[in-house]
Amino acid sequence: MKTLYFDCIFGIAGDMALAALVDLGADLTYISEQLRKLPIDPFELEILPVNKRGIAAKKLSIHLESQGANQPYHFKLLDDHPHRKAADILHMIESSSLPNRVKQRSMAIFQVIAEAEAKIHGMDPREVHFHEVGAMDSIIDTIGVCLALEYLEIDEVYASPVPTGYGKMKMAHGLYPIPAPATAELLRGIPLADLPVEGELTTPTGAGILKALVKEFRPIGSIKMERIGYGAGNKDFDHPNVVRAILIQEVNDRKRESIYVLETQLDDMTGEALGFAMERLFQEGALDVYYTPVYMKKNRPGTLITVLVQPERADGCEEVLLTQTSTLGVRRSEWTRKILERRIVSVETTYGMVRVKQAIDGDRVLQQAPEYEDVAALARKYNLPFQEVYLEVLRESTP
């Protein structure tokens, strides 16, 4: 299984992502030949070497034969409308001869963008007319990225938190804030990075790629980098306007993940209130919640609340702590943890069939434990002590 990591420390756009993947090793000829199977205007793709603040990168240039670069597209044999509905683009992709995974990924990107636009404009996603994202170059960028991923045989995509930039920009409907409304909608639930730069750092196409394709947003973490590609944007900033595409080999088969630890302590809540708060934290997606007795100021007995949570759920759990407890503040720290795979197997024992939970690392079974309810049922059936049945089942299920 091959894994790609988009390092979006300075933002991401569709053309930047495609250029980075080509720099990583994707074949531009293959991408162009596959794109020409679609009913779109004639085009030529070119990759140019550029230097962005000392970083050698690749920049994508699209030449449209009939309209000139970066002009609105149209489908062949259709009317010359400058914008097309999302349904038209999705139908074009679905009915094409592109590889199946390319079609699935491309349609997923356009679908999430259509849903974001539909929410902003208050309409059916199928009726959304793409503007900036619907331009010919954005169609090439989006499907081109999916073709590049296919050429590189990428199975999973991860990414870093992403900055948006700030300010205002001119769009089809007038002067809009940065991030653009559709971009902001697409980035809901995605961790953002703090980079105070005036200008658009992440485009709707870039946000759509992240929303549809990225399995998890996290710091690079414990990985081995095999190859790196740099894709450049059109603008020049005080920082290198590039995105990095990294082909990675994760240490320990990706069993190490990033989590947040939220902590607060208090000395003025009842046990019932603490129980309710724990219930709400688990509803909000906490991985684990536990309470530790502590002594606070003036030697008062208190409770330390500790919450383990995935990055994308941290804000919600923090809100629960602030609203459902009497705390005046919450500490947050980032940790990594190694987790073992879990599986349930059914084992035939002297007493009957018992489900056994196993913790495995590759081919090794490191821990296992019979399911409580199965052991309890057998202990009742044979009128035996629970521990006797438990130990016998464990003995018989051990390889």
The string of pLDDT tens digits covering residues 240-288 is 999 999 998 764 445 678 899 999 999 999 999 999 999 999 999 999 9
Query: Per mean pLDDT, which range of 122-131, 274-283, 353-362 is the poorest?
Result: 122-131
pLDDT category of residue 3 using cuts at 50, 70 and 90 = very high
Question: What pLDDT score does 129 carry?
Answer: 66
**pLDDT tens digits for range 225-241:** 999 999 999 999 999 99
Inter-CA distances, 176 with 41, 196, 255, 334, Å: 30, 18, 42, 35
**Mean pLDDT of all residues in 63-79:** 47
**pLDDT tens digits for range 133-191:** 446 788 899 999 999 999 999 999 999 999 999 999 877 667 889 998 889 999 998 99
Question: What pLDDT score does 231 carry?
Answer: 97
Residue 254 CA to residue 182 CA, distance in Å, equals: 32
> Comparing 219 with 108, which gets the higher pLDDT?
108
Question: What pLDDT score does 95 carry?
Answer: 93
- Lookup result for tokens 């947040």: 260
Which neighbouring-strand residues pair with 191?
Answer: none
**pLDDT tens digits for range 103-115:** 999 999 999 998 9
Query: Per mean pLDDT, which range of 78-92, 178-192, 354-368 is the poorest?
Result: 78-92
Angle at 71 (CA atoms; ends 68, 76), nearest 5 degrees: 90
Residue 101 CA to residue 154 CA, distance in Å, equals: 10
Q: What is the dihedral of CA 54, 51, 150, 29, to 10 degrees?
A: -150
**Helix 314-324 to helix 271-283 angle, to the nearest 10 degrees?**
160
What tokens does 56 get? 């050698």
Is the pLDDT confidence value at 74 over 50?
no
Q: How many CB atoms lie within 10 A of CB 149?
A: 23
CATH class for the region spanning 257-337: alpha beta
Residue span(s) of the chain under CATH 3.30.70.1380 come to 257-337
Angle at 314 (CA atoms; ends 257, 367), nearest 5 degrees: 40
pLDDT category of residue 80 using cuts at 50, 70 and 90 = very low
Question: What pLDDT score does 131 carry?
Answer: 55
Question: What pLDDT score does 66 carry?
Answer: 54
**Helix 86-94 to helix 100-121 angle, to the nearest 10 degrees?**
170
Instruction: Report the predicted TM-score, pTM, of the whole model to 2 decimal places.
Output: 0.64
**Is there a contact between 39 and 278 (Cβ–Cβ < 8 Å)?**
no
Cite the beta strand spans of the chain per DSSP E: 2-7, 43-52, 55-64, 154-159, 167-171, 174-178, 214-217, 223-232, 242-250, 256-266, 288-295, 301-309, 331-338, 341-349, 352-361, 364-370
